[in-house]
Structure 1
Amino acid sequence: MSPAALSWPSGLPLTTWVWIIEGLVALLLAWVAIRFRRPQGRRRENPLRNRAVRASLLIAVGAVAFVVVFWRGPWWFDSAHIRSRALQPADGVVITGFRTGLVALAAGIIAGAGLYYTHRSHLHTVSKDREQADLTREGQVTGRYVEAIKLLASDKIHERLGGIYSLERIMRDSGKDSATVVEVLAAYVRTSLDKHVEARSVIDPDSAAAGPVTVLKPLKEPVRAALNVLGRNTAQRNRRPDLRSIKTGGRDLSEADLRGAWMTKAQLTDAHLRGAKLQEAILEDAVLAGAQLEKADLTRANLKGAWMQDAHMLKAVLRYAKLTEATLNKAKLPYADLTGADLTGAELKGANLFHADLTTVRLIRADLKHATLTMADLEKTDLTETEGLTAEQIHQAKVYTSTNLPPDIAGDPQVRARIAQCEAARAAGEEPPTGGR
């Protein structure tokens, strides 16, 4: 019995099966050729760059290789024990065992390929579903955004408030839209504050002798809400709302949330900002003359070149604020916290710094002529290059051995005595007595 005389369980000779498979492979190659033939007027495409073509060719080659190995494999792997002609039953057992193992191996490979294809199809489906979900979400966000803008333009206060908080929700849900929402709300605040409203002067019947009292128009709730949303967003995402060159327009901005706001050259003359949150706000070259900033928090704010003459800053927090070249003449800063602030080149002529904390403050070339330093804390403060400073001013302050003083003032007997007095009080855990006593 020759190898060509062997047959599969269907009864067809093995050579017939080879011809059938070769015919199928030829048809597959013909399909590939037709599928990727070059259309007229189009650039020829290399079919081998197509993943389906490569897979089809691989399957065709694999099928041919399988048939050849199935047919001649037993003699290639065990020719010493299998006769080429006149096969015996023992030879058939070896051939059948080899071919059965080969079929099992092929079945395993096909099953593995099927699992791999299923896995890839699943990943592709998941990716498509995710893309569709993202598109759906973006469509929903766009719809919500349009509705929120419509509400923001409403004449009714509750609808404007709804629009503002809807925009805040969009800002939280869609990070890539947060910058746009910040710009919209900042523009809303700017346009609302730019509408000038004159402050009114009225006379209180109970205190008519005191003269007229200035009454500011309260900040509208939607504008305050927009400022609060911008302040919360700045704290969470560090996105600065653009409020450059805004004007208060006679409105009361007490306790307004302006954290991180970009307010370069803002016109805030006589602004009422009591208790306002202005941490890390940019107020370069802003005009704050006569502004009411009692208990306002300006920690790490940038006030470079700001005009703050006659500003009222009782108990204001200016820790590590940048006040280089700022004008603070006659500013009221009693009990203000200026720890670590940079006042290089600042003007503080006639400023009231009663009980102010000036620990580690930089006062290089700062002008302190006629400034009140009574009980001001000057621990670790560098005053060596300060202008307009006198021994009498230092004698009124809380001054320590860590304070860097100009040589002429450091050698003053009263100043040395004051330093010893303050050091002794600190060692005893007590507050130094008021200067001059």
Structure 2
Amino acid sequence: MAGASIALAYTARNYKLAFRGQVTDRFTKALERLDSERMHVRLGGILALEQIAADAPDQSRHARQVLSAFLQSQAPRCGGREAGAPLPADVTAAVTALISRYEPFARLDFRDLDLSQTYFGRGDFRNAQLERVSLAGANLEFSFFANADLSGADLSRAWLDGAQFHYSKGLTVEQVLSAFPSLGTKLPNGIENDPLVVERISEVEEWKAGRNS
């Protein structure tokens, strides 16, 4: 009986070591793909990291760190993207992967990135958990936040023209006041008619009119 227990423990240990080696090998190959000049190869690397995080939860934090660094290096900064141009496919995939494996304590950092026309809360982003995410200074124009939970998210200095928050959760008046909302920003009931928000929108619209005159 004791021998059987020892054999089982030995087998389990060997399995864990083999699995760990496989994960390490997959991680290394994914990193190599992210450094490729070819879009489809980089996309494969992002999907590989997302799968690693799903198969080996203890590696989720490392995968998230790599994806965050990739996003910061590849995503356009505010003002650096041609108006109306879509986000590169690898940037969109990285954002998708980060949010799908999101853990609120991780504090995802999207500061000063141009994420306009991004869909948070629809398709792969359905019910996106964005608690405490930093979107400070980000361009969120015409982005969609249906069903996204924005509790504690940092929206300071974020551009919200045309952004749709009317089905989002956790958004507060204070968050909106710290950002740059406009008449085109769709806000949840109870926030859009708040006197302070109405005044803030008026200020932003006046500034826009002066800039364009």
Q: TM-score, normalised by structure 1?
A: 0.39
Q: Aligned partners of 2:72 and 2:37: how far apart in 1?
A: 18
What is residue 224 of structure 1 aligned with on the other side?
92
What pairs with 1:420-435 in structure 2 (closer than 5 Å)?
none
Is the aligned partner of 1:245 residue 2:111? yes
The equivalent of 2:13 in structure 1 is 131
Verify the 8 A CA contact 1:281 1:298 in the aligned structure 2: no
Q: Does 2:134 align with 1:264?
A: yes
Shift, 1:291, TM fit: 2.9
Q: Which runs of 5+ in 1 are unaligned?
A: 1-118, 201-214, 317-335, 353-437
Pairwise CA distance, 1:227: 1.2
> For residue 299 of structure 1, what is the aligned residue in structure 2?
169
Q: Is the contact between residue 161 and residue 225 of structure 1 (CA under 8 Å) also seen in structure 2?
A: yes
Instruction: Please list the CA deviations of residues 290-326 of structure 1 after superposition, one character each: whole Å capped at 9, or x if unmatched.
Output: 5321256431247745523443322x4xxxxxxxxxx
| CA RMSD across the alignment | 3.1
Measured in 2, the distance between the counterparts of 1:182 and 1:254 equals: 19
Alignment of 1:401-412 (within 5 A): none
Inter-partner Cα distance in structure 2 for 1:121 and 1:188: 49
Where does structure 2 lack aligned partners over 5 or more consecutive residues? 202-213
Q: Does 1:348 pair with 2:188?
A: no
In 2, the alpha carbon distance for the partners of 1:194 and 1:171 equals 25
User: Displacement of 1:175 after TM fit?
Assistant: 1.0
Distance 1:288 1:151, change over 3 A: same
How far 1:239 sits from its partner (Å)?
Answer: 5.9
The alpha carbon displacement at 1:170 in A equals 0.5
Distance 2:3 2:77 in 1: 60
- Partner amino acid, structure 1, of 2:178: W
1:224-263 per-residue CA deviation (whole Å, 9 max, x = no partner) reads 11111222222xx556452152321xx5333144632644
**CA–CA separation in structure 2 for the residues paired with 1:126 and 1:160:** 40
Count matched residues.
191
RCO higher in 1 or 2 (8 Å CA, sep ≥ 6)? 2
Q: Which residue is 1:142 aligned to? A: 24
Check if 1:274 corresponds to 2:146. no
The amino acid that maps onto 1:348 is: V
Is the CA contact (8 Å cut-off) linking 1:243 and 1:261 kept in structure 2?
no
**Contact 2:53–2:63 at 8 Å: present in 1 too?**
yes
Whole-Å separation in 2 of the counterparts to 1:279 and 1:127: 44
SS at match of 1:216: coil
Question: Deviation at 1:176?
Answer: 0.5
Percent identical residues: 16
State the match for 1:161 in structure 2. 43
Maintained 8 Å contact 1:268/1:291: no
**CA offset digits 1:1-32 (Å, max 9, x no partner):** xxxxxxxxxxxxxxxxxxxxxxxxxxxxxxxx
Report the Cα distance in structure 2 between the residues aligned to 1:217 and 1:198, rounded to whole angstroms: 11
Following TM superposition, by how much is the alpha carbon of 1:280 offset from its aligned partner in structure 2, in angstroms?
3.2
The within-5 A match list for 1:46-195 is 119-193=1-75, 195=77
Task: Name the one with the larger helix percent.
Answer: 2
The answer as to whether partners of 2:111 and 2:137 remain within 8 angstroms in 1 is yes
Aligned to 1:337: 189
Distance 2:30 2:64 in 1: 13
SS at match of 2:196: coil
1:254 to 118, 135, 144: 118
Q: Secondary structure at the match of 1:348?
A: helix
